[in-house]
Homo-oligomer: A and B are copies of this chain.
Amino acid sequence: MLTEMGRMARDAFRQMANAGTRSKNRALQALAALLDQAQPDILEANKADIQAGRDSGMSDALIDRLTLTETRLKGMSADLRRLVELPDPVGERFDETVLPNGLKLWRQRVPLGVMAVIYESRPNVTIDVSGLAIKTGNAAILRGGKETIHSNRILVELVQKALEQSRLPANAVQFMDNPDRALVMELLRLHQYVDIIIPRGGEGLHRFCRENGQIPVITGGIGICHIFVDESADLQKALRVMHNAKTQRPSVCNALDTVLVHRTIAAEALPRIVRYLSPAGVSFRADESAMPFLVQDKNENTPFSVPVTPAGPDDFDTEWMSLVLGLKVVDGIDEAIAHTNAHSMGHSDSILTENAANAARWINEVDSAAVYVNASTRFTDGGQFGLGAEVAISTQRLHARGPMGLRELTTYKWVAEGNYHIRE
């Protein structure tokens, strides 16, 4: 059954790959309209998921993730209409050249192929991924969680209706209606039909896809993010950046996890960091290198002393996803870079400094998808980077790194035009 789905996805891909920008945009418009019209039915289906979740004792947080509302649905159709406005990367030529023998040669952007997306809970991902696939001329096989099966069924029905209305193949977006986990294993091995696996979930899901699959996996979305406060940093401005990186949205992958402070400014900086961030609810895990600077203040009964506890052995390898912040003192740029490369997941890491040489070393030597100088790590995001849309944030090295927008859902072919050219 899954093989048949793969075969149909591949056939649909061939048609999608050659669809014009106008007809792909028409499908996006049609889908946005259908979403608006079908609101009552979608909310009805979503209620069934919510009820099933409640019956099975799902937490309020999880219930919230799978809940659709009028506002959320409106946001989804607005996103689709924004996608219409974005330039279509397919067909773009680059590296155009004429070889010495007169052969005209260029690379031309083409859709990536069939992508399989494995996700949970949030039904908006269904529309999100469908929209991105349509815009880029790819085909998608969606495997949502069983907790949103009613919502996803109706949403995919609308997607397929929109495709048909625009004379595009309905099978360009298919949904694995059967929540059997064994089918996920089968999907991961369908390499003759599927070109890329995009897991949207935690580290366990990513590992599962990599270990059991025969198809390249875009791993990412997990970040242990660092800010190194160099001795030359403007401390007042640095405090604002750390506050932003830690507290603006603590539950996301580009939120700050660890602050490294240069030893020469540790005595001043560490107490100020604790004082500045603790009113926002931040608590601290201090390395033994940092404790002396904080304990000293503690004896003086300063108000920040309460939320500082000694860091445990795994604390600097933990993505906090909450208002916890690691603190560590380093001897300088060398140790800061070494610590970051050893503990970062290669997502987003920033240096705050006035020293150009150290900034350059940070840029070149920190091996992460996004490296920052004097900026919050929170910018690592397709929207913030001006990509307009984002399918994932990759922390692996092949194909695409960091925020993946429309262009990153394409590949290229070489095109050569000659006059009956032969190789000498």
Contacts and interface: CB of A to CB of B under 8 A. Distances in A.
B413 A371 contact: yes
Interface in A195-213: 195-196, 210-211
Interface string A355-383: 00001000111011111111110111000
A375 B420 contact: yes
Given A103-B379, A411-B397, A372 B422 contact: no
A378 B240 contact: no
A347 to B, nearest CB: 11
A416 interface: yes
A325 interface: no
Contacts of A401: 411-414
Contact of A371 (B113, B238, B375, B414): B414
A403 B113 CA distance: 19
Given A411-B398, A423-B248, A373 B417 contact: yes
Interface string A91-130: 1000001010001010010101100000000000000000
Given A91-B364, A195-B398, A398-B411, 19 more contacts: A14-B341, A99-B385, A99-B386, A103-B375, A103-B379, A110-B367, A195-B396, A195-B397, A211-B214, A234-B420, A240-B422, A241-B420, A352-B420, A372-B417, A373-B415, A374-B420, A374-B421, A376-B421, A402-B413
Interface of A: 14, 17-18, 91, 97, 99, 103, 105, 108, 110, 112-113, 191, 195-196, 210-211, 214, 216, 234, 237-238, 240-241, 243-245, 248, 341, 352, 359, 363-365, 367-376, 378-380, 384-386, 396-399, 401-403, 411-423
Complex A-B, nearest 4 residue pairs according to Cβ-Cβ distance, in ascending order = A375-B418, A244-B422, A237-B420, A378-B423
